[in-house]
Amino acid sequence: MKSLEEFVELFAEQFDETDASEITADKNFRELVEWSSLIGLSIIAMVDEEFEVTLRGEDMRKANTPAELYEIVKSKL
């Protein structure tokens, strides 16, 4: 399992226009200007590819920060 820091880096790579330094483990990603359902789908695909974990929309709705999403991914391993 990758560390939380590595997860946040991969998470931040899904955003094209948002500076990666703005995205921290505890940042509410839903407050980012660039946040959209398309970014959410990119994150789901990244988690599937990097962690071989299938996230559902319900999982995404439960998380507001990368750290919360990381815990959900860890629980599915």
Span 15-29, pLDDT tens digits: 999 999 999 999 999
* pLDDT mean over 29-49: 97
**Which residue type occupies 36?**
S
The predicted structure's pLDDT at residue 1: 83
What are the sequence ranges of the domains in the chain?
Answer: 4-75
Q: What is the pTM of this model?
A: 0.94
Q: Which helix (H) or strand (E) holds 67?
A: helix 66-75
How far apart CA 71 and CA 8 sit, in angstroms, is 12
Contact 13, 7 (CB under 8 A): no
Q: What CA–CA distance (Å, rounded) separates 72 from 4?
A: 12
Q: In the prediction, which pLDDT does 77 show?
A: 95
- CATH architecture, range 4-75: Orthogonal Bundle (1.10)
